[in-house]
């Protein structure tokens, strides 16, 4: 009796799965997602975990960056960088940027705004710095 009930339940589950339309999340529906944003330099996504994903097309080499405010999350095993030139060579590893270095990095990679604007934004939004991760997409 148990096997019959289990068999019927599995059959009904399979039928329900086949009958349910699959909703793909693609560029057609991205404007409906409240976590997606479209800055002038690319596309961004704010994940529920607090990690910000951005695909920067305006940089000399397109990159996918992930960053999280150091106040929100403490990462271990990060590389503490002291200059943006040091960070330029590191790919696919988490780094720690101080607030000033973060503003400098933003200005160097996205020079559409002057440095004082990036510094003011970093002071207001990431006063303890950020944890940062980059992958060069167009390399």
Domain positions in the chain:
33-136
Going from the C-alpha of 109 to that of each of 55, 92, 115, 132, the distances in angstroms are 12, 17, 11, 14
Whether the Cβ atoms of residue 113 and residue 96 lie closer than 8 Å to each other: no
Dump pLDDT digits (tens) for 66-108. 989 888 777 778 899 999 888 888 889 999 999 999 999 889 8
Read off the pTM: 0.68
Q: Is the dihedral of CA 132, 68, 125, 27 positive or negative?
A: positive
Higher pLDDT: 85 or 109? It is 85
**Cβ atoms of 118 and 100 closer than 8 Å:** no
Q: How far apart are CA 38 and CA 54, in angstroms?
A: 9
Mean predicted lDDT score pLDDT of the chain: 81
Kindly compute the dihedral angle of the four CA atoms of residues 51, 59, 86, 74, in this order, to the nearest 10 degrees.
-10
Pair of tokens at residue 122 = 């970093």
Identify the band that residue 121 occupies on the pLDDT scale cut at 50, 70 and 90: very high
Q: What is the pLDDT of residues 11-26, one digit of tens each?
A: 777 766 665 554 444 4
- What pLDDT is stored for residue 26 in this prediction? 46
């Amino acid at each position: 009796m148990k096997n019959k009930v289990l068999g019927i339940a599995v059959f009904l589950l399979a039928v329900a799965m086949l009958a349910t339309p699959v909703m793909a999340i693609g560029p057609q529906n991205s404007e409906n997602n409240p976590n997606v944003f479209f800055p002038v330099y690319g596309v961004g996504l704010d994940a529920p975990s607090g990690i910000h994903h951005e695909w920067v097309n305006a940089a000399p080499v397109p990159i996918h960056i992930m960053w999280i405010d150091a106040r929100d999350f403490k990462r271990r095993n990060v590389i503490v960088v002291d200059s943006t030139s040091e960070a330029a060579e590191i790919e696919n590893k988490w780094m720690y940027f101080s607030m000033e270095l973060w503003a400098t990095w933003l200005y160097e990679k996205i020079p559409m705004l002057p440095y004082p604007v990036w510094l003011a934004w970093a002071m207001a939004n990431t006063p303890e710095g950020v944890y940062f991760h980059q992958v060069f997409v167009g390399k």
